[in-house]
Structure 1
Amino acid sequence: MSGATASRVIDQRVANLDELKLERFEQGDKYGCDAVRIGPLLGAKQLGYSYDVVPPGKRSCPFHSHHGEEEMFFIVKGSGTLRYGPETRKVRAGDFICCPTGGPETAHQLVNDSDAPLAYISVSTMLPAEICEYPDSGKVGAFGGASTPRLRHMTKADSGVDYWKDEA
């Protein structure tokens, strides 16, 4: 290895929260956060992980459930409310949250209803195909493929067509 500028593999696999470059996201009045997808930065292959900082009064994503990927969250700082299926509960720094696969009964969302930022780490299995349901809006999303851009299709759950339509 030559000099102090040589990059070691081990150093490419480590990132500290205070060194991450967060990107701002906002959508309408409800959604907003500063976030970064950490997995790709460190070369992760089968796990996805990100860091989100959600300002007071916001949430980072819609209420949703996964049929393929399992997720977990770790609250780093702050507090908020976890929506899970038909229930809610307060969460705070130090809480681990498990979101296994399923239907609407496992739908989940973190809401920052406090007066301070809510920061959390999310970890998910990375599968080549995924189906998500969005109970609040009645949508279904299909995601998949190894190529870029990946398939991403959103539709209303009641907009399906018969399997044999246009196959004659």
Structure 2
Amino acid sequence: MEKQNPPVVNLAKLTLDYWTQGTLYESRDTSFGALLGLKALGIGYSEVPPGKSSCPFHSHHVEDELFVILEGHGTYRYGGERQLIGPGDVLGAPAGGPETAHQIINTGTVPLKYLSISSMAATEICEYPDSGKFLAKTRTATGGRTDFRTINRGGEEVDYWEGEPGA
């Protein structure tokens, strides 16, 4: 039997993907749960520049999410509330509807660095309260590949960024 190395990832050695969308969304990030051998737990690392967010305001109907702020400061938009956040803060985003919609915005002066952790549901519905859209998707149990994905508003398929502020 071949000896395996322990499942360990060093955040400083991760290869990050850079992307930007419109005036509000920008990030350097990656998902790395698979590198740790995780199948039912998703984990990602993000670096968001000042004045930006890595995703629109949204809620998950099935998946729970958790965020751990490592560096920087920002605002956690949750339901109808906003809370200042910083290093050491742990943010919960339980499954629900618009009352659990969430978004992290870097309102500080340096990159906001955080971990995002989520349950990996095979089927998920997300709502986007700012734009009135929803996303429905399914993924395979192994490998996390998406088998079905649609973004819809009022019976019409739309682009992911359609109607989002700053997109």
Whether these two folds match at TM > 0.5 is yes
1:8 and 1:20, CA in 2 relative to 1: closer, same or farther beyond 3 A? farther
One-letter code aligned to 1:109: Q
CA drift at 1:149: 4.1
Tell me if the contact between 2:138 and 2:146 (Cα under 8 Å) persists in the aligned partners: no
Runs of 4+ in 1 over 4 A off after TM superposition: none
Equivalent of residue 62 in structure 1, options 56, 61, 80: 56
Q: 1:150 maps to what in 2? A: 147
SS of 1:32's partner is strand
* Superposed counterparts of 1:99-138, under 5 Å: 99-138=93-132
Q: 1:18 maps to what in 2? A: 12
Q: 2:69 maps to what in 1? A: 75
Instruction: Give the paired residue count.
Output: 153
1:92 and 1:141, CA in 2 relative to 1: closer, same or farther beyond 3 A? same
Q: 1:4 maps to what in 2? A: none
| Mapped pair 1:9 → 2:24 | no
Percent sequence identity is 46
CA RMSD after TM alignment: 1.7
- Alpha-carbon distance in 2 for matches of 1:44, 1:98: 20
- Alpha-carbon distance in 2 for matches of 1:45, 1:149: 14
- Alpha-carbon distance in 1 for matches of 2:149, 2:70: 30
**Most deviating of 144-153 and 64-73:** 144-153
CA drift at 1:41: 2.1
1:32-63, Cα deviation, whole Å (9 max, x unpaired): 10001011222210000000000011100010
Q: 1:166 maps to what in 2? A: none
Tell me if the contact between 2:137 and 2:146 (Cα under 8 Å) persists in the aligned partners: no
CA drift at 1:29: 1.2
**Most deviating of 46-55 and 23-32:** 23-32
CA drift at 1:15: 0.5
CA drift at 1:114: 1.2
Q: 1:51 maps to what in 2? A: 45
CA drift at 1:8: 4.9
CA drift at 1:67: 0.4
- Alpha-carbon distance in 2 for matches of 1:16, 1:60: 21
CA radius of gyration, larger in = 1
* Structure 1 unmatched ranges of 5 or more: 2-6, 161-168
TM-score, length of structure 2 as denominator length? 0.87
TM-score, length of structure 1 as denominator length? 0.86
